[in-house]
Amino acid sequence: MHATKIICLSTALLLCACTTVWKAPDNVKIRGNKDTAYLDVADFSYKPAQPVDFSKLKTCIAESVTNRAVTLTDSANSFSRPLMGVHYSGSNSHTIPGGDIFKMLDEPRRTLFASGNTSSHIDSSNDVAQFDLHASLSDDGVTLKFINITSAQRFSGMIRNEGFAPVELSTGARTQVVYDALQDVANRIKTCLQ
């Protein structure tokens, strides 16, 4: 009876931990519903101390944003034969090509869209996020909005690597790691603009 209570309590705690939702900061917009919510926009816009020139914004984004090719792998087809002591490696690998950073430049409106990706600097950099960046200048300040945010693991182990997908707000999705990586890119741009 006592063991049954412990198992039930442990199972309940595990289920609660799996359904915990990431507490989004005020500068984040989410989409979806209470069952499945995703990171939609991360807005790091700000009012600089000094006016910023659009050519400087373009330069700082070119220096701070990268859009490199990313290789994603798994070992889903690997298996071991313990009695024989043989390990069969059937790793899968596919590369998502990089490309140009700038998608659109509108000089008269001082607005641009850039595409990029970034690895987490918090852990072993297994996580990688892809994004589009909407950047512009106005009387209100500098707009830095990350949109179309997706993430993937470079190596997913024995689980099939499904590639880039929207970032769920559940704890297991490592949303905080993605958010911190985007914030790091925004901070590099802000530092460059000073």
Please write the tens of the pLDDT for every residue from 159-175.
888 889 999 988 676 89
The pLDDT of residue 80: 61
The pLDDT of residue 23: 87
Beta bridge partners of 71: 95
Distance (Å) of CA 167 to CA 23, 103, 144, 158: 13, 22, 19, 21
Q: Mean pLDDT lowest for which of 67-71, 76-80, 136-140? A: 76-80
- Rounded mean pLDDT of the chain? 84
Mean pLDDT for 171-188 is 89
Please write the tens of the pLDDT for every residue from 17-70.
445 678 889 999 999 887 789 999 999 999 999 999 999 999 999 999 999 999
SS3 of residue 51 by DSSP: coil
Distance (Å) of CA 158 to CA 65, 82, 153, 162, 186: 31, 17, 12, 12, 34
Helix 54-64 to helix 175-193 angle (10° resolution) is 140
Contacts of 179 (CB under 8 A, 6+ apart): 25, 28, 39, 42
**Structure-token match 């997908």, residue found:** 165
Please write the tens of the pLDDT for every residue from 81-95.
666 565 555 668 888
Distance (Å) of CA 83 to CA 36, 64, 78, 86, 194: 44, 52, 16, 8, 63
Taking the C-alpha atoms of residue 146 and residue 134, their distance in angstroms, rounded to an integer, is 6
Determine whether 21 is exposed, middle or buried from the number of CB atoms within 10 Å of its CB (0-12, 13-18, 19+).
middle
Task: Write the DSSP string, 114-136.
Answer: EEEEEE-SSSSS-EEEEEEEEEE
